[in-house]
Structure 1
Amino acid sequence: MHSEEEETFQNELKTKCNSLHLLKNSNMTLFRWCKNRYRCFCCKETFLDPKLLKTHSIQHNLSEMSHIIGKRITPFYHKVDVSDLKCKICFTSIDNIDNLIEHLKDHNLEIDGRHLFVPYKLDSDILKCQMCSELYKSYVQLDKHMNTHYKNHICETCGKSFKTHEGLRDHAKRHKEKQHVCKKCDVVFSNYYRKRQHDIAHHNLKVGHVCPHCPETFNSYHNRLWHLVKVHNYEKPEFKCVTCEKVFYNNSLLRSHIRKYHLQERNVQCSVCNTKFFRKCDLTEHMKNHTKERKFVCTFCGKSFIWKKNLNIHLAIHNNVRRHVCNVCGKSFVQGTSLKYHIGRHHAKDGQTVS
């Protein structure tokens, strides 16, 4: 038994040494995830932008990281950003950790066995799993997916796996039978997560995006961003298209703009008429032309419409909303077609037209 424990200890020590060799000879960045922000591995500094985290992390040396990794009795997986990964010895660009291990052999550095790093590439708005190439729109979704690749903590109740003990511990809470009561309306829920969804839906609970400077929380990245700009004097982000100079507030919108309007990407195709679209939601709207489903119904007369915008135009008739005004005589109309008819009949001789 003693020899088995010694062997386990030696294997764990070797795993930690392998990890430190990789850190020492590459520019990979250790990080943590805390309250929807990237947190420095060595201190409590947090960042919205992983590039700023990478710049900040340079000030911490290997001995600090070695101390944190080594003080745990058992090996513990750590997140690393391997975007723009390079060898520190010869500055060769390398795609992933496995290739880095192979490359270091050229420098007479043999890294044999396991390491403690879970790889992420955080340099894009669309995040790709470095193990299976699955794509995710948010870090939270990707991080949850990574549990399927690192199965060192298993839930005894349902068999679900997790890469860290903390992930397993948070998951285990869901299995505990405990009543959660809404303090505002006394509705009882079987678990915290159902109560939380109830608070979001019925009590306007703001979740997901926390301001780093005050207690405010927001239900979207966009809302938090504008809060930081207006309240905390953050510089308004600007991402300019080099082709048409249109400006966007985040890189994701700029990328979508370029792909849709300048690269003319059309990856979604209608199965009926083969028309192609950029987004799935555009195809969904287009399909209404084929299904002729009229789900927008006027509450005044019962007339139905395929498009909501057509219902809104129709409702103007019932509400007598006269937004179309003749610039010659000032007479107003509910519909644009009525204005065009009016101008054609009464003001055509004055050279008036309606665009």
Structure 2
Amino acid sequence: MKRLREEELRKHRHNIKEILLCSNATPIRKYAIGYVCCFCTKNFPEAADLKEHTIKEHDENTKSEFMKKERMQHFVVKLDITALKCTLCEKGLLTVEDLITHLQNEHDKTMFTDIKSHIIPFKFEDAKLKCSFCPHTFDRFKVLQEHMYTHYDNFVCNVCGTGFVNERMLYNHKLTHKVGHFKCCVPRNVNAPIRLGNPKNVTRTRRRIAEPKDIKINEITKHRSNIHLILQCTNATPIRCRGGIGYACSFCGDEYPDPADLKKHTLEVHDDKAKLKFMAGKMMFSYLVKLDITDLTCKICNGKFDTLELISDHLMKTHDKKMFTDIKNHVMTFKFGDDALKCMFCQNVYYKFKNLQQHMNVHYRNFVCEFCDAGFINKNVLTCHVEGHKTGTFKCDLCPKVFDTHRKKKSHEKSVHIHANLLNKCGYCQMKFTNYKKKDEHLVKVHGVTMKTIRCHACDKTFDNKGALSTHTKRDHLMERKYKCTECDMGFYLPNALKLHMVKHTGERTFKCTVCSKSYGRHKTLREHMRIHNDDRRFKCEHCGQAFVQKCSWKGHMRSRHGELV
């Protein structure tokens, strides 16, 4: 145990050293008179002044020694990540996680991601102190700091379910749950501070000790107990996400293009001991389990079941297993039976797993948005959704652009600044592409990946994505024609098609040949005409070898000379 703790501490020290050496992130301490430098104890009334001081006055040798003497039980780093950027390439970043990923992928830095985070990030962007994880704001740094602990579950209190960053904080917290009579150790005198001699404070403290909160411990414990039993007694397997290669294992991170291969890997490689650690430390705020229940089977009696609810009922009634049924469902179930990704509840079909997962939220109403009545599986997803309803002025943290909603701002930051180079990245060789189509072509040609296609149920045509299928269905089967010609009865699916059609009525010829001065109403016609001047004979007869500039000439030749209709 001691050796494991020392190894974990080494990894934490290495990570914070790389962060301080390769970014403008700076450690902070807070006292009554302001913010204190972690290296020389100088005080500054503003966090920005401390940041400037730390970057200018303290060199790499000093930063390398940071946290060298701290023990694992007390290890916690408060980090100012205002206007966070990588100092190796000057790239702007939003979070510590983004920085760690960037240093790994772009600069080949060794960063340990198999440890829980002991870093508490802060951003000082305006007068209000805002939480880096959720929209809450605070007037005092101390209150913000106490709130930030709610987002950590490294160590969880077994009485009230509260999470803490390190072991020492949990130990101090547990003392408040002790019930009994506690005599004050400080003798009362006239010079004593008000808080020691004030009966109001004593009463409040006694009440807090005598009545420990019991809010979330039962719920989170029940959820963990249920999922551990399901993983041990059935062939249901958790899935983490769908990354660059495929579906990721929740235990070791290996990826598989086919979910059936991931299921086989999970059942064969990871034993019950590993499964008992699944979801350990997770709190109710973000609790969500994605479960593959394809060919769902009871391991005890080999019985087959269609849904998680049916097999849970079976385990309780047939095998006398203890499962909690008085809690909301936080498990998303998926079946991978064929090429189509189908919703378990309504059979809607999706091309991407991400889109299916987003859709699945509509079938859960554990938490409901007060603005639009949309339902969500956990509070974290609801919190992110509610941000999208906020309107106002939201400036990008990394460039001067301003947006009218928080959602647009976040979407811009992720696509333009943070993940711009990662959106179209090959999961096999890390090669980057400007768009997803080029990446797909690369996957097929270089790595032999078979891309899934979507078939139209009306005409059997196939498409690469749902958007192309939707366009085809509206245009070719539903005959949708939004754009009407004002001169005749014709309608068009796209505005550009209407624009090309209007040339017939206006007779306008804006595209002029630079060689012979002939004019045309459409750019396409001019382009075809230019092939005459370039002697571009691309249409060749396969029988006699004669070549033609225009397709119509080739068709006429095939019909008159060879009796073929093409």
TM range (shorter): 0.5 to 0.7
Shift in Å at residue 100 of structure 1?
1.2
Partner of 1:65: 275
TM-score (norm 2): 0.44
Structure 1 stretches lacking a partner, 5+ long: 238-248, 266-277, 305-310
Do 1:210 and 1:224's aligned partners in 2 also have CA atoms closer than 8 Å? yes
Partner of 2:262: 53
Shift in Å at residue 81 of structure 1?
1.0
Q: Match of 2:240, as an amino acid?
A: R
Do 2:396 and 2:413's aligned partners in 1 also have CA atoms closer than 8 Å? no
Q: Match of 2:431, as an amino acid?
A: E
Q: Which of the residues 434, 439, 445 maps onto 1:224?
A: 439
Shift in Å at residue 43 of structure 1?
2.1
- Over 3 Å counting, the alpha-carbon distance change for 1:109 and 1:124 in structure 2 is same
Structure 1 window deviating more from structure 2 (141-150 vs 57-66): it is: 141-150
Partner of 2:318: 106
Q: How do 1:203-352 and structure 2 match up within 5 A?
A: 205=420, 208-218=423-433, 223-228=438-443, 234=447, 236-237=448-449, 249-250=450-451, 252-253=452-453, 256=455, 281=472, 284-285=475-476, 287=479, 291=490, 293=492, 295=498, 296=500, 299-300=510-511, 312=524, 316-317=528-529, 319-320=531-532, 322-324=537-539, 330=546, 332=548, 334-337=550-553, 340=556, 344=560, 352=562
Do 1:85 and 1:96's aligned partners in 2 also have CA atoms closer than 8 Å? yes
Instruction: For 1:342 and 1:117, locate their aligned partners in 2 and report how far apart those are by CA, in whole Å.
Output: 64
Other structure's SS at 2:455 match? helix
Instruction: For 1:34 and 1:339, locate their aligned partners in 2 and report how far apart those are by CA, in whole Å.
Output: 49
Structure 1 window deviating more from structure 2 (21-30 vs 96-105): it is: 96-105
Shift in Å at residue 25 of structure 1?
1.5
RMSD of aligned Cα (Å): 4.6
Partner of 1:245: none
- Over 3 Å counting, the alpha-carbon distance change for 1:98 and 1:315 in structure 2 is same
Identity %: 21
Q: Which of the residues 347, 352, 359 maps onto 1:145?
A: 359
Partner of 1:246: none
Instruction: For 2:313 and 2:427, locate their aligned partners in 1 and report how far apart those are by CA, in whole Å.
Output: 41
Other structure's SS at 2:279 match? helix
Q: Match of 2:350, as an amino acid?
A: Y
Q: How many residues align?
A: 308
Q: How do 1:127-206 and structure 2 match up within 5 A?
A: 127-152=341-366, 161-168=375-382, 170-171=384-385, 175=390, 178-180=394-396, 187-189=401-403, 191-193=408-410, 195=412, 199=416, 205=420
Instruction: For 1:194 and 1:69, locate their aligned partners in 2 and report how far apart those are by CA, in whole Å.
Output: 29
Do 1:333 and 1:339's aligned partners in 2 also have CA atoms closer than 8 Å? no
Q: Deviations over 1:174-210 (max 9, x none)?
A: 5595411775xx654454345359849xxxx566443
Other structure's SS at 2:381 match? helix
Q: How do 1:115-130 and structure 2 match up within 5 A?
A: 116-130=330-344
TM-score (norm 1): 0.65
Q: Deviations over 1:131-162 (max 9, x none)?
A: 34333322111222233334445668877654
Partner of 2:71: none
Other structure's SS at 2:345 match? coil
Do 2:362 and 2:376's aligned partners in 1 also have CA atoms closer than 8 Å? yes
Other structure's SS at 1:210 match? coil
Do 1:86 and 1:93's aligned partners in 2 also have CA atoms closer than 8 Å? yes
Do 1:181 and 1:189's aligned partners in 2 also have CA atoms closer than 8 Å? no
Do 1:182 and 1:195's aligned partners in 2 also have CA atoms closer than 8 Å? no
Do 1:29 and 1:54's aligned partners in 2 also have CA atoms closer than 8 Å? yes
Shift in Å at residue 90 of structure 1?
2.5
Structure 1 window deviating more from structure 2 (39-48 vs 209-218): it is: 209-218
Do 1:153 and 1:162's aligned partners in 2 also have CA atoms closer than 8 Å? yes
Instruction: For 1:160 and 1:25, locate their aligned partners in 2 and report how far apart those are by CA, in whole Å.
Output: 34
Shift in Å at residue 284 of structure 1?
1.2
Partner of 2:308: 97
Q: Which has the larger radius of gyration?
A: 2
Instruction: For 1:199 and 1:5, locate their aligned partners in 2 and report how far apart those are by CA, in whole Å.
Output: 44
Shift in Å at residue 281 of structure 1?
0.8
Do 1:30 and 1:40's aligned partners in 2 also have CA atoms closer than 8 Å? yes
- Over 3 Å counting, the alpha-carbon distance change for 1:217 and 1:34 in structure 2 is farther
Instruction: For 2:318 and 2:248, locate their aligned partners in 1 and report how far apart those are by CA, in whole Å.
Output: 34
Instruction: For 1:35 and 1:172, locate their aligned partners in 2 and report how far apart those are by CA, in whole Å.
Output: 26
Do 1:340 and 1:354's aligned partners in 2 also have CA atoms closer than 8 Å? no
Q: Deviations over 1:26-78 (max 9, x none)?
A: 11111212656532212232333322221221211222222233434648221
